[in-house]
Structure 1
């Protein structure tokens, strides 16, 4: 069977398995194993276990469960609540300030947790009910949190950047720095649209005419000024820890795995000390959540590696790469094709799976077209962010639906779409001005990266 036919059949089988609810890892591993056995015989079973465990043997992967544990410690503590209250204190009187403060809280919480779902859940539980109380439209309330949560995979430290770095053998510290400025840029674009949406809805502090209830809420904020300032003080140690981790990475003081281990320990200790989480139950919850997410990601990585091995063994990836590289088109047209491919892949697959399967294939093409691999990592990540708030998977959409079940999924989707367009605008700006992603890594780490 020729590689093109094999590739088509494998993709069809993969989508059928996912459509009937098969977990991503099992779908990837099952299809890959079936394809190998059918094409090369039962002998491939002897290599399955070796390939599976060898794919996880990299020391760099130690950073993933450590950063996840760090994020779980933050997500399971009242840090999100304190962040939200602190930003609402300062931004509450800006037009659309409550929605803008939610995006700001998502941006900071994303840096603390490195997880998009955790960011959406932690900030959404507090922000969405509060915004709806003050008259914000359901679409704006849900959309700004769903979109803000996507920043978790771009703003450092980011698990997806670690996976990209290991998959492409590029510097993880440099990848973290490359994602910082674009992450801030996206947050500002989100805030700009939120401000415009609130003005179009006809309001200043609230999109609807100010009611007595809303006025009373603002009075409560002023009366609780001292309490809100204390909330800000409780958050500061966590921000210091993240800053120290990034300094250790960028300054070459520690490897990503060492920095992640130190960050996990410090954030767990802070959660226990600052929020008095001495009981066994919250600590068990933190460990359980971290273990569950770590195993899920590691299983996806291992099965995606087997899937990639199958595609390579059947000469499918080589055929696709040659076909793309053989296109006699302008390099920006080539980049547009790659962006479209990543966007579609992000609609159906989680970010980690897309990166593990596609990054090693696309990197030689990117380098041959004279694109910067760190700039491309940011472009890839933003494409995957769009997938988090668009159907059919749209993980953040369903998290918001779980938080606010009385908001129609249609309203959540329509409220999130303008933010997806903001991400598209962000990609366009990065293509027009690549230095948005590259100047800070070059400044800190030099141009030899």
Structure 2
């Protein structure tokens, strides 16, 4: 009953925090301290600061603010819009090419930022207005960005994979490699869906035009000359160089993930300084502010989650839950289904 009560307490506190706007980290830490005071020796409270610090003093976690810095440098400057515009120029002949361009832009940005919210913000701020202006329905435009944004935590480097590697003590390099195949598969499926959905909306708009004469922007045949298309290539090349350099350093064994994150952040700042003239303190302020805010939020969640895990383990809640699951004797597909349902539910609340 004690285990069940503590589990329910954590669940309720987390849900209240999610829906009230209270930081999740604060709720986790507060509940952890309460249960430490009630069920654990008083001496354990004296070691809270030391335990949290020791768990967070990890060289792997250093890569989180550096990867966020790289994403913020691209997303908060004109670089993200240029990437999107160049892809649109080359894919405009494909049915739904604008939607496909948004998917590819999300994939490329995800491979540089490692964050789903950053990907949605950077590409969506330019992509959604452009799609709406060209006649795409609101649901279609928002759906493409929402789906493409999920690539941020799948394609390496992924901040979520870094957190998992630290918590589960797994190889970060192997996790990054494991995300490439599923990520590319999703990019392909999203692109194919964008083509089919565009054809359906185009057919509906054309039928409406023939019946009532109401014209839609989606029927406009936009054209780009070869000069315009090749002129857009230089906008993409810096991203290719940045992405290639980081990947070679990481998977070629020349640098650790943390060192690669530092290299990526430095290259991103150098790129926007040389190409876009973003080097003044007033220009860098939004980038650094965004980096500090998101990094602080994540590190607080990590620290309090580690404290949460410590209490769960000390009180044998984790072990009891694992024993209960094993006692159910579920078939392997049933167990996999249950795990996936849990991941889906968590995905509603955790980025």
Would the aligned equivalents of 1:134 and 1:206 in 2 still touch at CA under 8 Å?
A: no
1:24 is matched with 24
Alpha carbons of 1:281 and 1:150: their partners in 2 closer, same or farther (altered >3 Å)? same
Following superposition, the deviation at residue 121 of structure 1 comes to 1.4
Give the alignment of 1:317-356 within 5 angstroms: 317-348=318-349, 350-351=350-351
Alpha carbons of 1:208 and 1:307: their partners in 2 closer, same or farther (altered >3 Å)? farther
1:238 is matched with 239
| Distance in 1 of aligned mates of 2:146 and 2:70 | 22
**Could you tell me the TM-score, scaled by structure 1's length?**
0.72
1:183 is matched with 183
Following superposition, the deviation at residue 6 of structure 1 comes to 2.2
Would the aligned equivalents of 1:93 and 1:205 in 2 still touch at CA under 8 Å?
A: no
Cα deviations across residues 35-93 of structure 1 (Å, max 9, x unaligned)?
A: 11121254332121112211211111111111111111111221221111111112112
Alpha carbons of 1:44 and 1:271: their partners in 2 closer, same or farther (altered >3 Å)? same
| Distance in 2 of aligned mates of 1:207 and 1:155 | 40
2:34 is matched with 34
* 2:93 is the counterpart of 1:93: yes
1:279 is matched with 280
Alpha carbons of 1:228 and 1:332: their partners in 2 closer, same or farther (altered >3 Å)? same
Q: Which has the larger radius of gyration?
A: 2
1:259 is matched with 260
Cα deviations across residues 370-413 of structure 1 (Å, max 9, x unaligned)?
A: xxxxxxxxxxxxxxxxxxxxxxxxxxxxxxxxxxxxxxxxxxxx
| Distance in 2 of aligned mates of 1:101 and 1:16 | 39
Alpha carbons of 1:266 and 1:204: their partners in 2 closer, same or farther (altered >3 Å)? farther
Aligned residue for 1:278, secondary structure, equals coil
| Distance in 2 of aligned mates of 1:213 and 1:20 | 41
Would the aligned equivalents of 2:135 and 2:216 in 1 still touch at CA under 8 Å?
A: no
Give the alignment of 1:254-403 within 5 angstroms: 254-348=255-349, 350-351=350-351
Would the aligned equivalents of 2:67 and 2:264 in 1 still touch at CA under 8 Å?
A: yes
Aligned residue for 2:60, secondary structure, equals helix
| Distance in 1 of aligned mates of 2:67 and 2:88 | 28
1:161 is matched with 161
Aligned residue for 1:201, secondary structure, equals helix
**Aligned Cα root-mean-square deviation (Å):** 2.3
Following superposition, the deviation at residue 320 of structure 1 comes to 0.5
Would the aligned equivalents of 1:154 and 1:183 in 2 still touch at CA under 8 Å?
A: yes
Would the aligned equivalents of 1:234 and 1:274 in 2 still touch at CA under 8 Å?
A: no
| Distance in 2 of aligned mates of 1:53 and 1:83 | 40
| Distance in 2 of aligned mates of 1:75 and 1:287 | 12
* 2:107 is the counterpart of 1:107: yes
| Distance in 1 of aligned mates of 2:347 and 2:38 | 28
| Distance in 2 of aligned mates of 1:199 and 1:215 | 11
Would the aligned equivalents of 2:89 and 2:228 in 1 still touch at CA under 8 Å?
A: no
Structure 1 stretch displaced more, 97-106 or 225-234:
225-234
Would the aligned equivalents of 1:248 and 1:254 in 2 still touch at CA under 8 Å?
A: yes
Aligned residues: 347
Would the aligned equivalents of 1:144 and 1:194 in 2 still touch at CA under 8 Å?
A: yes
Identify unmatched segments of 5+ residues in structure 1. Answer: 352-449
2:141 is matched with 141
Would the aligned equivalents of 2:107 and 2:187 in 1 still touch at CA under 8 Å?
A: yes
Identify unmatched segments of 5+ residues in structure 2. Answer: none
Aligned residue for 1:135, secondary structure, equals coil
Following superposition, the deviation at residue 307 of structure 1 comes to 0.8
Alpha carbons of 1:216 and 1:276: their partners in 2 closer, same or farther (altered >3 Å)? farther
Structure 1 stretch displaced more, 200-209 or 235-244:
200-209
| Distance in 2 of aligned mates of 1:118 and 1:26 | 23
Following superposition, the deviation at residue 21 of structure 1 comes to 2.1
Would the aligned equivalents of 1:277 and 1:283 in 2 still touch at CA under 8 Å?
A: yes
Following superposition, the deviation at residue 215 of structure 1 comes to 7.2
Alpha carbons of 1:244 and 1:207: their partners in 2 closer, same or farther (altered >3 Å)? farther
Poorly superposed stretches of 4+, deviation over 4 Å: 204-217, 225-228
